Each structure stands twice: as C-alpha cells, then as structure tokens.
Structure 1
C-alpha cells in the first residue's frame, strides 16, 4: 500500500485500543473498507482520548483519493472540531477532547447537506454543508496521519497522539436512538463500511494495539 512494501493486514479490534504514543510523521493505521466508499451519506463514530494541547491541530480521520481529501475530521488549533470534504470545511464548537475518552460521531447526508457532530450521544446544531456532494471511492483511509498527497506527505505536527477505539462507519445516517445506544455500548447494527470487531487494518510505525481495560 505504501512505498511498494509488503503489507500484512490484521483482522478485528474487538475490545482493543489503538495507542499512538508519540508525535511522528510515519506512524499510522490504514483501514480497509468493507464496501466501496462512494458515499451520499454516512455516520462515523469513534472514541478518542488525547493529552495534546488545544492549540495543536490533530487529524482524527483521513480518507483521501489521488487528488482530493474526500473526508477529513480534525480538531483545529482553536479547539473547534471540523470536517472537510474536497475543499473548505465546516466547524463546530464542541466540548474539548481530553485525557478522558470522548465518544464522537459525525453524520452527513447529501440530499439536504445536514451535518452534525454527536458528543456523548448529544447532537450539535445542524449545519448545512455541501448538499448534492458525493464522496468518491478508491482512496485510502488513515488513522494517525493526514496525507497531503495520496500515500504520502505526512507531517508530525498534525499527527494524532493518544488513544482511538471503537471506530465504526455506516453508509447512512443513524437515528438519534442508535447513536445514543452506541455511546452507551449497547448492541446496534454493525457498521457496513467499518466494524471495529471485524475491521481489516495495517499498522505502520509506532502504533500499539492494547486491551481495552
């Protein structure tokens, strides 16, 4: 996948946490979607903890095709949380990420452009962002780094440091009740793009897989 290396993929992270212990420009986890990521709607959920200071930009999720950042989720230098789809982003004032795990979901659908973040099962205000847009397939999904070009251009000052777990993604908008159920750890329909329990992934650099104790 990267630099013509031989890639060894692993399967499933049930009851596991990804630990990114240090700021680097080479540590990441590549995720293999279960289906084509030509998306007109999605729900992305994950649990995240970090001790990086608020004024430090952090990439939380990056999906890039050869020419575009198709879906990037950030914590910005001013502490806001944002996401970008092929161009300018949209920004939200959310409770700050911290050393204690935050459950974070993002929903968007093309028909209306309605987009919202969900923190601990509570929805932000809706924003209208890129109605009619479509996310393109055949890209690469990374955790821990933001590729400024396809399969490269990584910067330590944007890297994720902390813990990520329970990342799931669906190609539709989950209802409030299902997002709240996910937040509380109840069983809900498995993510049909990414399901943490069966996810296919590749580790590169200094990333640890540890038990979720």
Structure 2
C-alpha cells in the first residue's frame, strides 16, 4: 500500500530523445514508452519518476547563436534566460535595449539583469511609465519628450535604458520619446558577465542588446530605427545563449515597418516599406506568420509551432 501511494503521488518526466530539452507531464504512470509526433519530427519518449512539479518544457542551455530575424513568444508563467559571453571586471555604465510586443501589466517586470556580484537591474511596467531599479535604488521614468528623428519601428516597441555610475544619471527611451535624466545609485558598479531573465513577461521580444557604456544619441537613434547600430558587447542578439522553462517559442520575427512615412518630391507621403533588420522589402499586410489572427501579441493561436530549437 505504501509503495502504491508513493506511485500515485509521483508524476512523470518525459525525456524526448533528439531534442534539446525535457517535458514535465502528469500522465498515465504505467506507460513506459510511447512515440510522439510533432509537426516536424518523430521522437520516442521514455518515462521517468520524479516529484510533482507540474507540466512545463525545460530547454537545455544553448550555446551562443545568431538570432537575427527571430523572436521569442513567451507565455504567462514562463521563464527565458539570456546569457552573454564570459567577462571579468567592473561595469561602471550600461545601455540595455530590446524590442517587445506586450500587454501593459502594471507592476510586472519586463526584464531583470544580474551579474556575478549579485547586483540587479529590473525594469517594470507601471500605471504611468516605468520603474527602473538599479541595485538598491529605484526611479520612475516616463518617456515624454519626443525626438522626431527617432521615429518608430512598427509593430515593435523599442525600449532602451542607460545608467552611468560616475554621475548616477539614468534615462529611458521608448520609441521616439525620452524621459528626463534622474540620479540613482551613484558610485556603485556591476561585475562580471550579464544574465537577463524574462519571468513576468507575456508577449514577443527580439533584438536584445547590452553595452558596457552609455550609447550616444546617434547610437540610440540607430537602434530605434533598426539599422546601423553597434551590436552589444555584453548581450548581443547576434551571439546569444539562452535557456527556457515553460511555454516559450523561438520563431521568425515580425517584419518591421519604419515610420513616420517620408514625403516625395510632390509633397505626398510615400508608402512605408517593411524593414527587416535594415533591409527594405515590399509593403505587406502583416509580419511573418500573421495568418490566423496571430499578428500582434501572439498567444495560443491554434497554429502548429516548432518548439525551442
């Protein structure tokens, strides 16, 4: 009886051969082997016993990959962690940029950055603007001043935050708007490689970059426009290692449309073109995989998806 109770109190781990991860399931405890077919592959899975943890995907650590033209679709309750190259030494300044499509959830963390000395940086969405926490200090930042030359890279929201230890000055950019500069955590520093975690986020994310300096206005403008910017030396979408837990999918990114539209020689506005990582293309009605009502904030659209590669 005790053995049977222990059996019923346990769940299974589904180890899928030929993939980069595992899947926690609550399934028939008497099934030992079965074949499971996904849209692009067939794999045999073997059941193992473990303690109850619920059902979720966990991917194996990925080496640095070029994720250009790709995005993560992250569902509620999932966690995706990005890791930069190994490095040592103090970090006295930084710029962090990323593009997202997400529903505004006040108080939810968009991302958290940590380094070897346990210093953290967290950006949260607030009812009015954002809250940036650096170490033990927090400031509310609200991008309000528009810079017309920045424009917007539709359908993405481009976010950048900067901080300089020498002055303590921090600032935030959202598309074509910037916040006022505020002082916080002056004289402190980060140390070692950077790790970014998305844990309270639901939506799409792409083009994550982090630099160990405050980018000049020209660099921030280039990132916002989607071309001609330097790749991050602490985190780079061109060479990114990642792990995930939960329902997170790596897929083709939505193509981006630059704006506002420019005027031609007659004074009429030109049709805006979709820009895919700096390359102009034809005008289309939606981005990649936009059929089935999936354009915009992608959720469970009922379309077959390829799991983390």
TM-score range (shorter-chain normalised) is 0.7 to 0.9
Structure 2, unaligned runs of 5 or more:
1-57, 145-153, 255-309
Structure 1 residues 203 and 115: CA distance shift in structure 2, 3 A: same
Does the 8 Å contact 2:73/2:251 carry over to 1? yes
Partner of 2:159: 104
Cα displacement (A) at 1:185: 1.1
Partner of 2:188: 133
Max radius of gyration: which structure? 2
Q: Using structure 1 for the length normalisation, give the TM-score.
A: 0.78
Cα displacement (A) at 1:133: 1.2
What pairs up with 1:1-213 in 2 under 5 angstroms?
7-10=60-63, 11-21=65-75, 23-24=76-77, 27-34=78-85, 35-36=87-88, 38-53=90-105, 56-64=106-114, 68=118, 70-76=120-126, 78-94=127-143, 100-137=155-192, 140-143=195-198, 145=199, 159-213=200-254
Cα displacement (A) at 1:30: 1.3
Q: Using structure 2 for the length normalisation, give the TM-score.
A: 0.55
- Root mean square deviation, CA, Å: 2.5
Partner of 2:304: none
Cα separation, 2, equivalents of 1:191 and 1:92: 23
Cα separation, 2, equivalents of 1:39 and 1:62: 16
How many residues in Structure 1 have an aligned counterpart in Structure 2? 186
Structure 1, unaligned runs of 5 or more:
146-158
Higher relative contact order at CA 8 Å, sep ≥6: structure 1 or structure 2? 1
Where 2:218 maps in the other structure, the secondary structure is helix
Structure 1 residues 136 and 66: CA distance shift in structure 2, 3 A: closer
Q: Which 4+ stretches in 1 moved above 6 angstroms?
A: none
Structure 1 residues 182 and 74: CA distance shift in structure 2, 3 A: same
Cα displacement (A) at 1:203: 2.0
